Structure 1
Amino acid sequence: MSETTTAPTRHDVVVIGAGFSGMLLIHRLRDGLGYDVKAIERGEDVGGTWFWNRYPGARCDFESEFYSYSDNEIQQEWSWSERYAAQPEILEYINFVADRWDVRRSIDFDTSVTAATFDEGRNLWVVETDRGARLEARYLIAATGNLSVPSEPTFPGMESFAGPIHHTGRWPKDGVDFTGQRVAVIGTGSSGIQSIPVIAEQAAELTVFQRTATFTVPAANRPLTDRERQVTKANYPVLREAAKHTRAGILGEQPMGSFAEVDLVLARGELERRWRTTGLGVTATFNDTLVSEEANEFVSQFVRDKINQIVEDPATAKLLEPHDYPIGTKRLALDTGYYETYNRPNVRLVSVRQTPIDRFTPRGIVVGDHEYEFDAIVLATGFDAVTGALERIDIEGRGAAKLAEAWAEGATSYLGLAVHGFPNLFTVTGPGSPAILTNVLASIEHHVEWIADYLEFLRREGIVRTEADAAAQAGWVEQVAELAGHTLYPKAASWYMGVNVPGKPRVFLAYLGGFGTYRAICSKVAADGYPGFLHTTPTHEVTDHDSERVTS
């Protein structure tokens, strides 16, 4: 911890981040339970991921009526305009909720947490910020988001490029006008797939540099009708409750059955229907798409066939065909006219798979023996997902243990909520939870409610320190890995595995048992008195509940 003379402020809870998770924590803990809560947010306002990701075409890939809080007053008052809301509307919604809950008075904006140290003698966290402030709190809760830290490439000569370089994860607030410009986009993950069609409409020339072809399906986005909104609002309680028991925390298309059991002629017809109308429902056509290589290849080839139907140039279509990974084992992108964009005369695709980008120059980008000249470059290179934000903070737990060192061989956690060696620290949608494979708003609400209930238990029982037990954590990590090992997920070099960040350990970051099953496990932990956690009272008496391994 660095030296500072600033007198610390005292709080019950310090929250890192003021996106969807941080705002809900403030509302639930401050307004619902009376805790003194202080949130620290590096942005100038609320919004988290949706504050920073302002790139052209940024849009939610879960239906907006359910990518929202289940607060009944708010869901009755707010009306979404589209099936899949765009970033400006989502940020408008976030600000609407922030005003309604009056969360800003509990947030320090334009401030980053630089260090957090657990004081074992006093059983509290001492938090430092880049503004020289110190805060002390019994509990530290990370609401840092899963996609909040951009993954920055380091090409030789980047600093020499004469034009602007923009990252999709840190887009200028006032936007960028590419009219008449020669533009490069590096990366064809979700942000590239969303931004490329929009940039192509502006730019005089657009060159896309692709290392790995990505599966994407049409979003089938459209305006919502008044009737649809009325029906959803009238049935929100039933719909929300039903969604809690699903695998992804949202109601969607049901599978036809397993690949071996269905009529493949009917299956092809069903894929055609889902391609036109359901977005993510394409990969849910069979219940074993992510387990059976045969089922997965059937769906994968369907999408490849679609690419060849849409893209007019056969050579470009061939480059756009994904063959490196099973469909669905990387984040499946939803697009609006992505493949059609390559039929535009001002768009070209350059593969950098066999011949990678060599360097940047003042004029542009060199690949092989060719220099491409540009006026602007866009980096659509993704994020250091799930753990990136926390690993950039100097977090020191019990016995001077560093979180970044504890995760050096891969992120470990108990239930995605707590980490052994770091008492009184909680993570919302942390590693080992199902969050990145779910409607994340449903996962956020579940975690915030669980943490709030647990803090009340600790207060009621007079417990001043709680920590995930090593054995319980190891058991949970083993379950997460075991479930992943029974699927096709490990076959992909995805950010689910941390592979997109150089040097990051290859560990699957999500629980694959499903959102409904995970909720049931967490509920049982609470009902049984929180096995897997070590509890310390003011007399330092430790209550050991670690002997029982939590199973599904």
Structure 2
Amino acid sequence: MSTTTLAAPSAAANSSQGANRYDAIVIGAGVAGLYQLYRLRNLGLKVRILESGTGVGGTWYWNRYPGARFDSQAYIYQYWFSEELYKEWNPSERFPAQPETEKWLNFVADRCDLRKDIQFSTHVTKAQFDERTQRWKIDTTGGETFDAQYFVTCCGMLSAPLENSFPGQQTFKGQIFHTARWPKQPIDFRGKRVGIVGTGATGIQVIQTIAPEVGHLKVFLRTPQYIIPMQNPKYSDTDREAYKALFPYLKERLPNTFSGFDFNFKYGNFADLTPARKKELLEMFWNEGTLVLWLASFPDMFTNEAVNEEISEFVRVKMRERLKDPELCRKLIPTTYGFGTHRVPLESGYLEAYHRPNVELIEVAKNPIVSVVPEGLKLKDGTVHECDILILATGFDAGSGSLTRIDIRGKKGQSLKEQWNQEIRTTMGLAVHGYPNLFTTAAPLAPSAALCNMTTCLQQQVDWIAECIGYMHRQGLNVIEATKDFEDHWVDHHDAIANATLVTKTDSWYMGSNVDGKPRRLLSYIGGVGRYRQECNDVAAKGYEGFTLT
């Protein structure tokens, strides 16, 4: 593969002192981590990925629950550093399921010979910046300590599952699973009484998939969701040839759209259209069966309450047409928040699952789950719902959780966890003031924390980090740190854009509302992927203005 030939580590890198001394330690072997290894290794650096799982894949290694699949089209959920690599992979359909995506990431790891620099089954517990040596010390559960000039986190934005959501889980007599820690072996649902907690994007995928298999399914619903029906055609050879021919165009286009997808706002503001044109476009977007209605229809949907309500009602009507039953409509159709201010899932037969005689819907917003008992779930009113299997689709401590679960300490021993427990802040989602030579991907205050086709945003961040490190090496520099003034500027810029939208007025995991005590701030930069990219490029073009380099 001539376009992706990897440079061998330099002699200087190989002459490091000690087997665990590296130029860079990367955490995580998912989409970002694999590419980060590739980029840094091509700079001639000695690099090691530390991965807690037994294989590559990140999100697609851990989230193997029934029905798991992504909702970015396969032809854009790709790497762009090699046209040859892009054209060698042949997705089976528009939105492939988890096994195929995991297989693709294994294909990339093998094709680029990445495994030799990945250490599996290694969980990082602590990372400390040593001000004397100007290097990071990274500790693992296995008792190893790694020494690195650069510490790069590629942990993912949804990788810290909320597993212990209810007291008494250890007393349950049946089987209990969190969707983000699903076992590799198949689970037999036949004839079983199954309870599932959570109806976000993950819960929806599980429910629509297992409903036909289980004996009886109890869905514990707190917050109903707007949905978009997924259109998932199989790809033919002709389809694949067509999109592969667009590689140069897509590589250039995706990083410059609002959400990193192959679509963008182009119809103006909704409020300026005639009623007939509004209906025409909404129907077109709806029938597309992708996230275009949410992420590339009308920008004023995110800022204008009247516009948002009109589009929300359009979606409610579509949901009513499928649900029919007035009681199901009351329970399952959102009315307390607007379309697009939460994560919008794609689904395939989710609403129809509730028409099945073996599916029971239990509202827990006003009568919440208080504990798990040996028999099942106990509600506030004392009711016990008996189950053989409990599935927790209870989500994640998003954006920040993967890093606060590691004891990361910067200058003067300051704790990132303690800081973020007070206020979640970063410099462009790429660094944190007070933590020299720490680079972050999928961290708060960047699009990659939520509002982006993840392969687009993660590759942009990895490229920025690699080019920054390359610049430092060419200039003979050893340490880089974001200044407090620049971080303050970025936080203010982020908040100004976020607070002009309806998203910040809604409780969701986007705002950290699903984690008790988590500081409230929109986790994802909502100014657009293209704008964020330009902001990052401008900083680099000015010699990394806003950072101190020594």
Whether TM exceeds 0.5 here: the answer is yes
1:382 paired with 2:395, answer yes
**Alpha-carbon distance between aligned partners in 2 of 1:220 and 1:448, rounded to the nearest angstrom:** 31
**Alpha-carbon distance between aligned partners in 2 of 1:153 and 1:128, rounded to the nearest angstrom:** 25
Alignment of 1:131-530 (within 5 A): 131-252=142-263, 254-283=265-294, 284-367=296-379, 368-435=381-448, 436-530=450-544
Give the counterpart letter for 1:36 in structure 2: K
Measured at CA, do residues 212 and 161 of structure 1 come closer, stay the same or move farther in structure 2, by a change above 3 Å? same
**Alpha-carbon distance between aligned partners in 2 of 1:343 and 1:420, rounded to the nearest angstrom:** 53
1:9 paired with 2:23, answer no
SS in 2 for 1:116: strand
CA-CA distance at 1:426 after TM superposition:
0.2
CA-CA distance at 1:156 after TM superposition:
3.1
TM-score by length of 2: 0.94
Q: Give the conservation status (yes or no) of the 8 Å contact 2:221–2:365.
A: yes
Give the counterpart letter for 2:238 in structure 1: R
SS in 2 for 1:500: coil
Measured at CA, do residues 429 and 157 of structure 1 come closer, stay the same or move farther in structure 2, by a change above 3 Å? closer
Match of 2:43 in 1: 33
**Alpha-carbon distance between aligned partners in 1 of 2:446 and 2:324, rounded to the nearest angstrom:** 42
**Alpha-carbon distance between aligned partners in 1 of 2:432 and 2:72, rounded to the nearest angstrom:** 29
Match of 2:32 in 1: 21
CA-CA distance at 1:401 after TM superposition:
0.8
**Alpha-carbon distance between aligned partners in 1 of 2:212 and 2:56, rounded to the nearest angstrom:** 30
Segment drifting more, 41-50 vs 235-244: 235-244
SS in 2 for 1:504: coil
**Alpha-carbon distance between aligned partners in 1 of 2:107 and 2:20, rounded to the nearest angstrom:** 29
Match of 1:549 in 2: none
1:55 paired with 2:65, answer yes
CA-CA distance at 1:364 after TM superposition:
1.5
- Alpha-carbon RMSD across the aligned residues, in angstroms, is 1.3
Segment drifting more, 12-21 vs 248-257: 248-257
SS in 1 for 2:300: coil
Measured at CA, do residues 117 and 156 of structure 1 come closer, stay the same or move farther in structure 2, by a change above 3 Å? closer
CA-CA distance at 1:285 after TM superposition:
3.1
CA-CA distance at 1:100 after TM superposition:
0.7
Segment drifting more, 201-210 vs 144-153: 144-153
Segment drifting more, 7-16 vs 373-382: 7-16
CA-CA distance at 1:255 after TM superposition:
4.7
Deviations for 1:193-249, whole angstroms, at most 9, x for unmatched residues? 111011101101111000011111111112122212101111111122112211111
**Alpha-carbon distance between aligned partners in 1 of 2:249 and 2:168, rounded to the nearest angstrom:** 56
Deviations for 1:131-168, whole angstroms, at most 9, x for unmatched residues? 11111010000000001111124323322211011101
SS in 2 for 1:289: helix
**Alpha-carbon distance between aligned partners in 1 of 2:126 and 2:369, rounded to the nearest angstrom:** 36
CA-CA distance at 1:483 after TM superposition:
0.4
Deviations for 1:312-348, whole angstroms, at most 9, x for unmatched residues? 3211121001122221111111111111111111111
Match of 2:547 in 1: 533
How many residues in Structure 1 have an aligned counterpart in Structure 2?
529
Q: Give the conservation status (yes or no) of the 8 Å contact 1:413–1:432.
A: yes
**Alpha-carbon distance between aligned partners in 2 of 1:506 and 1:285, rounded to the nearest angstrom:** 27
Q: Give the conservation status (yes or no) of the 8 Å contact 2:285–2:293.
A: yes
Segment drifting more, 185-194 vs 151-160: 151-160
**Alpha-carbon distance between aligned partners in 2 of 1:8 and 1:230, rounded to the nearest angstrom:** 46
Segment drifting more, 465-474 vs 401-410: 401-410
Give the counterpart letter for 1:402 in structure 2: S
SS in 1 for 2:535: helix
**Alpha-carbon distance between aligned partners in 2 of 1:358 and 1:172, rounded to the nearest angstrom:** 26
Give the counterpart letter for 2:529 in structure 1: F
**Alpha-carbon distance between aligned partners in 1 of 2:94 and 2:263, rounded to the nearest angstrom:** 13
SS in 2 for 1:80: coil
Deviations for 1:166-199, whole angstroms, at most 9, x for unmatched residues? 1011001113121111101100011001110111
**Alpha-carbon distance between aligned partners in 2 of 1:316 and 1:278, rounded to the nearest angstrom:** 23
SS in 2 for 1:279: coil
Q: Give the conservation status (yes or no) of the 8 Å contact 1:149–1:388.
A: yes
Counting aligned pairs with the same residue, the percent is 43
SS in 2 for 1:366: strand
**Alpha-carbon distance between aligned partners in 2 of 1:282 and 1:457, rounded to the nearest angstrom:** 40
Match of 2:101 in 1: 90
CA-CA distance at 1:268 after TM superposition:
2.1
CA-CA distance at 1:434 after TM superposition:
1.2
Q: Give the conservation status (yes or no) of the 8 Å contact 1:212–1:324.
A: no
Measured at CA, do residues 285 and 22 of structure 1 come closer, stay the same or move farther in structure 2, by a change above 3 Å? closer
**Alpha-carbon distance between aligned partners in 2 of 1:268 and 1:418, rounded to the nearest angstrom:** 44
**Alpha-carbon distance between aligned partners in 2 of 1:344 and 1:265, rounded to the nearest angstrom:** 37
SS in 2 for 1:408: helix
